[in-house]
A and B are shown apart, each in its own frame.
Chain A
Amino acid sequence: MRRYWYYPGCSGHASARDYQRSVALISPALGLDLVEVEDWNCCGTTAMTSVEPRLSVVLSARNLALAEEAGGRADLVVTCNSCYAILRRAQEQYARRREVRAEVDEALAGIGRRYSGTVRVRHLLEVLVRDVGLDALRERVRRPLSGLRLAPYYGCLLGRPRNDFEDPEEPLSMDRLLEATGATVVRFDRKSKCCGGALITTHEEAALELVREVLSEAAAREARAVVTACPMCQFNLDAYQAKVNAAFGTRLRLPVLYFSQVLGLSLGFGASELGLGQRFVPVGGVGKL
């Protein structure tokens, strides 16, 4: 078993409990020992970033410090694209900017903690594709998802800002992972477009248009489902699909799954234990493969 520290993020304990459940189910089966960081806090995402950017970095740094203190030189694994981007940004800024480092050090010292910048933040998708490897994944597939047409939706944050994991415009890791399950991956030009993010609560109209763009292309490419790697994307595409239909007169009916759930299906786990029942657009036949 490979040991990693696991940071579920706020949504992992709320709207994306099914995501977390599926991750907890598949990781031991793939030789991954994900141990949740104790006493973690919010990464400092959207609201905090725009109101108190510096405090946002401090919040992230506390999580990084906790993972470091936990020791073992293990990487910190996240499942939310926003957490991923925000934690990595804190890491970058800490490493590159003297004034940020001073502030973070001072803030953490106030609560008796220290961050040295050694822990690596990684997305679960990267761990699966790079550490476990596609060959190993393919070997463990017990129920190939042959014939299932899936649209891989990465969202905008996985490769942005540029990082050492994914390409901002043409990410491919999830394509490869889904292919390993035996599914058919459709071409998807909007795979790294924005889902509207938090705008869905403040500028719903603008966000709905973005959701429509993404879902419409998936439907046009005849995908049976959209697969995401981010709780925010999943929520916007799933929970607001009915509103999109109402607003634009479309007749979209696309289940929106997490890649971990699709992988879980192919590994032989059942739809309900993977949390496939918990969504707005029912998964229908997709879960019964």
Chain B
Amino acid sequence: MSEVRIAVYVCHCGTNIADKVDVAGVREFARRLPGVEVARDYQYMCADPGQELLRSDIRERGINRVVVASCSPRMHEATFRQVLESAGLNGYLFEMANIREHCSWVTEESELATHKARALVAAAVKRVRFHAPLEERYVEVNQKALVVGGGIAGIEAALKIARAGKKVWLVERGPSIGGKMAGLDKTFPTLDCSACILTPKMVEAAQHPKITLLSYSEVEGVDGYVGNFQVTVRRKARYVREEDCTGCGTCYQKCPKKVPSEFDGGLSHRKAIYVPFPQAVPNVPVIDRSNCIRFQTGRCGACEKFCPRDAVDFEQEDEFLTLEVGAVIVATGYETFQPQEAPQWGWGRYENVLTARQLERLVNASGPTGGKVLLRRDGEFTDEVPKSVAVLHCIGSRDENYYPYCSRLCCMASLKLAHLIREKTGAQVYSFYIDIRSAGKGYEEFYTRVQAEGIQFIRGKGAEVLERDGQLYVHAEDTLLGAYREVPVDMVVLSTAVTPAPGAERVAQIFGIQRGQDGFFLESHPKLEPLKTATEGIYIVGCCQGPKDIPDSVAQGAGGAAEVLSLLTAGRVQISPVVAEIDAEACSGCKVCVPLCPYSAIKYDEERGACGVNEALCKGCGTCVASCPSGALSCRHFTDEQIYAQIEEVSSL
């Protein structure tokens, strides 16, 4: 090894670091560390002049190891590696000390922050001495893509990829694509009909020659890596053969079993064999096994008898497909807060307390009342129109007891519903709100319009809904009046929070996506990489990442398609050389590591009597390294020597 000549750069990150950490002090400290030739501090190391400092020191001062003390390596490690490469130095002869997230951002105490920054810099200097050059590798990218979730975001993504000529599989868990948007009546702020703008896209997705729609299907597992994923999909038994069914609807007309309709929020009934809504795509019914008389008792079979195409097949079984794709878009959407968890708002107790999603069905012409807003009595709709309706914003949102975040779309959705109720019934409508958040193109104008329509806006969150002598009352503190109010109404609409979809945890596990504190999927950078995830080649779009309205979901769907297309079009992708390696001489062939590898990257080679690592599959997690009893395994860039050097130094200060 030639003489080690280290350069250390301490970044101010504007005031992000320099406010807490004494950067000049850390620089002077670093200057005196063994092997350090150059030590500098600079405002923004990631900016062009900062990068240029590195380059010129490497060229002119013979620097062959670099330490940058700045932000998280998740942010800029790749940036600085490229700078090294551009100056002719291998990018792995570099180490980052995180003195922002790990120091300045997490304490108020300057002295402690500076002390820790010194320790981290010293550790990085000690470690980088043992770094070795590593070569990046490239793999081919499979030219097909997978989109998971057939809501508006997923549909948009699939269409955009398909229109670019790439093959797409669109997997949807439910019997039909369309997602939550299919259940809406009108869309804010333009009040265009949701179905009218959505159904053409659904049909195009189903008919596009480059898209294969797998409805009523779920992803069970993902293997492989960016550019080369193998995805296992379970096609759940529909008990109706898609290729034979014409969608005539005889089966569900004849089916004798009624079940509350999920699509109508329980306000109407569907049959045990059903399509969730008339415009479903594909227009192929599915049998809900747990409610089917034939499956539960062996009798009935009406659907089978009456089907003119013999498409009903009670013997059908789940099928499994393996798809080979280069990239994946996850668009698994959201759910809404289930208000039975919060009985203070009366949902489930009083039948004229509805969720916003239920009201969407009431005002919809194809809904259970044919578009009329009617009161219910004893579980049935009456002819009676409410004379007063309260719309309660922020139910479950912005609430420490449930979901602390703002659900973002419900202010506008509530305004829209207030407008529709007023328009259809002439009722006095009260809107109970904390703040009206109408940030979006044309949104504030819509708010003004609704105000002018005579909706009563009460600034105060609806605290509870109680019934007294057969009358519903909304209790709230009117924060403009400074008074407690009890407002009698005939009907209450709860704008419930947007929450992660059920099963989000499992989806995250399958695709290697992290989740934020609130359970939504985590993007790899909140501003600059909003669609990428911690796993390369897996992208997230729409509400699975956080609450979004339709325009934002569509924009993200298209954005996800752009990510996928830039990956596919490049044709090859760089993969990290940080992988495990096995010293075959030292390997005893005990195979302890084989089942431990989460990526199935290790195979035992009978002939050599030793294990071997498939570098394309290995993610460098190090599990095998820690398990190897004979010390034959090591992980590049995380060798014992490197790690011990770092630990020793950081703990000696």
Contact = CB atoms under 8 A, between A and B. Distances in A.
Interface residues of B, number: 10
A189 B401 contact: no
B342 to A, nearest CB: 6
A113 interface: no
Interface string B334-369: 000000001110100100000000000000000000
Given A162-B401, A189-B349, A169 B344 contact: yes
A169 B349 CA distance: 13
B343 A169 contact: yes
A224 interface: no
B337 to A, nearest CB: 14
Contact of A170 (B343, B466, B467): B343
A58 B344 CA distance: 34
B463 to A, nearest CB: 11
Nearest to B345: A169
Contact of B467 (A162, A168, A169, A189): A189
Contacts of A88: none
A190 B343 contact: no
B117 to A, nearest CB: 26
A189 B342 contact: no
Interface string A187-231: 001100000000000000000000001001100100000000000
Nearest to B467: A189
Contacts of A216: 468
Interface string B281-293: 0000000000000
Contacts, number: 16
A216 B468 CA distance: 9
Contacts of A162: 401
Contacts of A189: 343, 346, 349, 466-467
A162 B401 CA distance: 9
Interface residues on A, range: 10 to 19
B488 to A, nearest CB: 15
A190 B467 CA distance: 10
A217 to B, nearest CB: 8
A74 B40 CA distance: 62
Contacts of B467: 189
Contacts of B468: 213, 216-217
A217 B466 CA distance: 11
Given A162-B401, A189-B349, A169 B466 contact: no
Nearest to A190: B466
Interface in A22-63: none
A189 B346 CA distance: 9
Nearest to A170: B343
Contacts of A213: 468
Interface string A163-191: 00000111000000000000000000110
A169 B342 CA distance: 7
Contacts of B469: 220
A190 B401 CA distance: 19
Contacts of B466: 189-190
A40 B346 CA distance: 42
Contacts of A168: 401
A213 to B, nearest CB: 8
Interface in B423-445: none
A213 B475 CA distance: 13
A63 B201 CA distance: 68
Interface string B439-482: 00000000000000000000000000011110000000000000
Interface string B306-328: 00000000000000000000000
Contacts of B401: 162, 168
Interface string B503-528: 00000000000000000000000000
A161 B624 CA distance: 47
Interface string A241-269: 00000000000000000000000000000
A189 B469 CA distance: 13
A212 to B, nearest CB: 10
A213 B467 CA distance: 10
B69 to A, nearest CB: 31
A170 B401 CA distance: 14
Contacts of B342: 169
A189 B467 CA distance: 9
B474 to A, nearest CB: 14
Interface in B225-263: none
Nearest to A192: B344
A268 to B, nearest CB: 35
A213 B346 CA distance: 16
Nearest to B400: A162
B37 to A, nearest CB: 46
A273 to B, nearest CB: 37
A162 B346 CA distance: 20
A217 B342 CA distance: 20
B213 to A, nearest CB: 42
A11 to B, nearest CB: 28
B304 to A, nearest CB: 43
Contacts of A220: 469
A220 B468 CA distance: 10
A76 B485 CA distance: 40
A203 to B, nearest CB: 13
A220 B469 CA distance: 9
Interface in A141-178: 162, 168-170
A189 B472 CA distance: 13
Contacts of A169: 342-344
A79 B346 CA distance: 30
A190 B349 CA distance: 12
A267 B606 CA distance: 74
B609 to A, nearest CB: 56
B462 to A, nearest CB: 14
A162 B400 CA distance: 11
A217 B470 CA distance: 11
Nearest to B401: A162
Contacts of B343: 169-170, 189
A216 B469 CA distance: 10
A217 B467 CA distance: 9
Interface in B407-425: none
Interface in B380-416: 401
Contacts of A217: 468
A169 to B, nearest CB: 5
B351 to A, nearest CB: 14
A189 B468 CA distance: 10
Nearest to B340: A170
Interface in A82-140: none
B348 to A, nearest CB: 10
Given A162-B401, A190-B466, 7 more contacts: A168-B401, A169-B343, A189-B343, A189-B466, A189-B467, A213-B468, A220-B469
16 contacts: A162-B401, A168-B401, A169-B342, A169-B343, A169-B344, A170-B343, A189-B343, A189-B346, A189-B349, A189-B466, A189-B467, A190-B466, A213-B468, A216-B468, A217-B468, A220-B469
Interface of B: 342-344, 346, 349, 401, 466-469
Interface of A: 162, 168-170, 189-190, 213, 216-217, 220
Q: Which 5 A-B pairs have the closest CB atoms?
A: A170-B343, A169-B344, A169-B343, A189-B349, A189-B466
